[in-house]
Amino acid sequence: MEKTLPPAGKLWLVGAGPGDPDLLTLRAARLLASADLVVHDGLVGDGVLALIPAHVERISVAKQRSRHTMKQELINELLVRETLAGKQVVRLKGGDPFIFGRGGEELDAAREAGIACEVVPGITAAAGCAAQAGLPLTHREDASAVSFVAGQCKDLSDQDWSGLAGHGRTLVIYMGLASANAIADKLIADGVSPDLPVAVIERGTTKDARVLRTLLTDLGDLVVREKVASPALIVVGKVAARADALDCLGAPGITEIMGNFA
């Protein structure tokens, strides 16, 4: 008798975009409709999750600061195990899989296990949120370079951010709310002007989005004063003054300084 080979499974690392389901790629939407299993992050918007058919199995591996539903090593094992079982597995990640999404680690695990894996890019939060806020990350008058950094890192003070913010540059900080004060102090200590414009984009691309603008010296106070909640992005640079945002200036005399960038 001929042996029946198990069905060939495949893993797809799919970017869900910054939240608005209309920003999901067509390919991502098709994969959600044909998947056997969707393993998704907590940052994936409800509107995107609503596109998953009812018969498709779902597993949430939502992460919060200092608290993980499932450690990354276990997520890797889950993806490999289910794919080896012959399933079409969609690993659905907020934003883009390769920008602070640990997609590289999951791709490494797939390669090591010898399973087929394909990456489907998504609109990263920086691009999606900035677009909604009318904030050009580059501008011929203000910025010719953009850098993305993660603010939620161990030993933040040891990270080398020199040259990432300042004249002609835009710095976008993911996961930086909890360390906003330290971020401002770090950048100012590195020589960035305290009066450089900053925009904070909360729940970007969703109907509840909020865009706040201040100066670097006021960043930490702004986050506390306005009760900014995650998910949120911090954009540092002259382009932040171009955002469609609410001016939230809290330090004495800071309004006059901001007027120079209007």
Question: Shortest CA distance to 88 belongs to which of 117, 55, 59?
Answer: 117
Please tell me which residue in 36, 41, 96, 142 is annotated as part of the active site.
Answer: 41
3-state secondary structure of 99: coil
Q: Is 63 a catalytic residue?
A: yes
Say if residues 135 and 158 touch (Cβ distance below 8 Å): no
Sign of the alpha-carbon torsion through 176, 177, 179, 182? positive
Q: Which amino acid is at 192?
A: V
3-state secondary structure of 16: coil
d(CA 37, CA 93): 14
Q: Are strands 88-93 and 37-40 parallel, antiparallel or unpaired?
A: parallel
- How many Cβ atoms sit within 10 Å of the Cβ of residue 258? 17
Question: Shortest CA distance to 215 belongs to which of 189, 235, 233?
Answer: 235
Using CA atoms, how far residue 7 sits from 82, 84, 114, 144, 172, in Å, is 12, 9, 15, 49, 43
Q: Is 41 a catalytic residue?
A: yes
d(CA 82, CA 6): 12
Stated length of the chain:
262
Neighbouring residues of 113: CB distance < 8 A, sequence distance ≥ 6: 80, 83, 84
Phi-psi domain of 137 (left: phi exceeds 0; alpha: psi -120 through 50; beta: other): alpha
Q: Which residues are catalytic?
A: 41, 63
